[in-house]
Chains A and B, each alone.
Chain A
Amino acid sequence: MTTSRPVKTLPQRAGLGLKPEHYKTILSDRPDVGFFEVHAENYMGAGGPPHRYLEEIAALYPLSLHGVGLSIGAARGLDKAHLARLRQLIDRYRPQSFSEHLAWSTHETGFLNDLLPVPYTEETLARVVAHVDETQQTLGRPLLLENPSTYVLFADSTIDEVDFMATIAQRTGCGLLLDVNNVMVSAVNHRLDPFAYIDRFPVELVGEIHLAGYDETTDAAGDRLLIDAHGTSVRNDVIELYRYTLARSGPLPTLIEWDNDVPDFATLNAEAARADAMLSAAALQHAKGRAA
């Protein structure tokens, strides 16, 4: 499929995940937030307050639609009914961005409700490329594909994750969503250098960055095991990796993901303000770089 590269229409600002407990605060206070992101599956009911609030908020802020259930990394075919629901949402809300994960979650036993890992081989690459093609054709627009956080490796894998993602983008015309927290989680879990991962990542294809907080434990061998938890503020090492990323990429739309133990809106907004300050600094640095 030959689609053009995604137009980066989300602003180069920090955005927040939209949570029902904050609907009213957002509408009454109109906070200065760059954009809001919603999980598509939470807005697949027929009607009711979720749609009512999303319509009002999407009229005021740029919107990012983020799927968590398409299962692009599934070995078997995509769920056509789910694709149709996504198309309906996109037609209704015209979001500035649509993204999904390099992961699988649907199986014949049912929906497994987690983002499960995919081995990186020529066979899986062909399958994921076919699924991204099908998705983009059905939705009539390019998607951003997000790098996963993983806890295990596959002995069968023959392709490096960055190469795997870059090849998908090259073959399908999709853009990439760079989750910097996922980079840190996977790098620590698999004893890789997260900065080297960023060095090799095709940042020119990135349409959005995700930041989140991880939890930490140890595995059976006693090694550090980071868990992508989305229940705290962004950890300091991820902030440093984000700064490093921005120095390479320049400012990019950046989402703060905080989905569990959701705090009050002011706390979330403070996380966004921190990212916004870093984005401004990165913009200045890039402007100087161009002027020099």
Chain B
Amino acid sequence: MITGFAESQDAFAAALLHADQPLPPGITTARGMADAARFAVYRNNVFVGLTGALAQRFVVTEQLVGTDFFAGMARAYAQDHKPRSPLIIDYGDDFPDFVAAFPPAGGLPYLPDLARIEVAWTQAYHAADAVPLDLAALAEVSPEILPDLRLVAHPSVRLIRSDFPVGSIWNAHQQDEVMPVSDWYGQAVLVLRPHMDVDVCILPPQDAVFAAFLLNGASLGEAAQAAFAAAPEFDFGAALLGLVNLGAFCAFHPDKGSNP
């Protein structure tokens, strides 16, 4: 039922989100008149709360562009992107896409992928817990059915494939003294939380396609084939061992073709 109450909240919300709009009708003070400075407290709370949540989540992104630039970018995002639910822990999941299309940040082409690492970090932090797949269990699988095996991605795992060394940039910003990144090449970064701590791992370049296929539900055989095609130096055993040891999977399905 839409009532006078609902209409008055619509007007309040509209005035809250657009500083150029007049104050909503019906608000007053003990002096008996509307007061812009008072209504501004609410406007300020909304935007300071949202941009503060972004600054807390995108720490390295903010370090890379500086606090003033970040504040402006976050404010522009918050203007058109309100949280879809009261779960502020999810706020900013699509901030990297916004950054990619934000013209003033165009000079930093690696910024969106760096921000994607930070999205993945929080998602991994809050993801469901699961015991990572034990290598010993995998070792018991007979070699002839290995190609048909499908591994179940750990709930926390996210893969970011970038044309830029975003893993190295992120790592450099975890130290007190940030050293410049010297090797400028694309990186595949695996973000995951096998236990209590979130790990940010730069994969060997030849393993990127393999990891991407496996995380998309391909069988080991399909993933290996794609990886060899992309990089002839791909080493199936080393790549599989590496990913399992990182904790990227939590189970496997031996059954052919079925991938729930």
Contact = CB atoms under 8 A, between A and B. Distances in A.
Contact of A155 (B28, B49, B85): B28
Contacts of A227: 41
Interface in A125-169: 127, 151-156
A113 B26 contact: no
Interface stretch (A9-17, A29-37, A213-221, A236-244): A213-221
Interface string B7-34: 0111011001100000000111111011
Interface stretch (A42-50, A89-97, A200-208, A266-274): A42-50
A116 B42 contact: yes
A232 interface: no
A123 B29 contact: no
A205 B214 CA distance: 58
A221 B28 CA distance: 12
Contacts of A74: 9
Contacts, number: 155
A106 B196 CA distance: 33
Contact of A41 (B8, B49, B89): B89
A46 B250 CA distance: 16
Interface size class of B (residues with CB under 8 A): 35 or more
A289 interface: no
A62 interface: no
A148 B39 CA distance: 15
Nearest to A218: B37
Query: Across chains A and B, which 5 residue pairs bring their CB atoms closest together, nearest first?
Result: A69-B86, A110-B82, A45-B126, A75-B6, A47-B129
A48 B195 CA distance: 8
Given A107-B9, A110-B83, A112-B82, A225 B89 contact: no
A110 B87 CA distance: 11
A51 B193 CA distance: 14
B127 interface: yes
Interface residues of A, number: 56
B77 to A, nearest CB: 13
A79 interface: yes
Contact of A113 (B50, B127, B128, B155): B50
A225 B40 CA distance: 12
Interface string B140-179: 0000000000000001100000000000000000000000
B35 A152 contact: yes
B36 A220 contact: yes
Given A47-B127, A48-B125, A223-B31, A111 B41 contact: no
B27 A152 contact: yes
Contacts of A111: 82-86, 88
Nearest to B53: A113
A110 B127 CA distance: 24
A114 B13 CA distance: 11
Interface of A: 41-42, 44-52, 68-71, 74-76, 79, 81-82, 104-114, 116, 119, 121, 123-124, 127, 151-156, 189-192, 217-221, 223, 225, 227
A149 to B, nearest CB: 10
Contacts of B216: none
B38 A152 contact: yes
B132 to A, nearest CB: 13
Interface in B72-95: 81-89
A81 B84 CA distance: 12
B27 A52 contact: no
A41 B126 contact: no
A108 B128 CA distance: 29
B45 interface: yes
Contacts of A48: 124-127, 129, 156, 193, 196
A219 B88 contact: no
Nearest to A149: B41
A116 B39 CA distance: 11
B128 to A, nearest CB: 4
Which of A114, A116, A119, A223 gathers most chain B CB within 10 Å? A114
Given A49-B196, A109-B17, A152-B38, A76 B6 contact: yes
B46 A114 contact: yes
Contacts of B27: 152-155
B37 A225 contact: yes
A46 B90 CA distance: 12
Contacts of B196: 48-49, 52
B89 A107 contact: no
Contacts of A76: 6, 9
Contact of B29 (A42, A190, A218): A190
A105 B88 CA distance: 12
Contact of B30 (A46, A52, A104, A190): A190
B103 interface: no
Given A82-B85, A113-B49, A50 B126 contact: yes
A154 B38 CA distance: 13
26 contacts: A41-B87, A45-B125, A45-B127, A46-B129, A46-B155, A48-B124, A49-B196, A51-B129, A82-B85, A107-B9, A109-B17, A110-B81, A110-B83, A112-B16, A112-B46, A112-B82, A113-B83, A116-B16, A123-B4, A123-B5, A152-B34, A152-B38, A153-B29, A154-B28, A220-B35, A223-B31
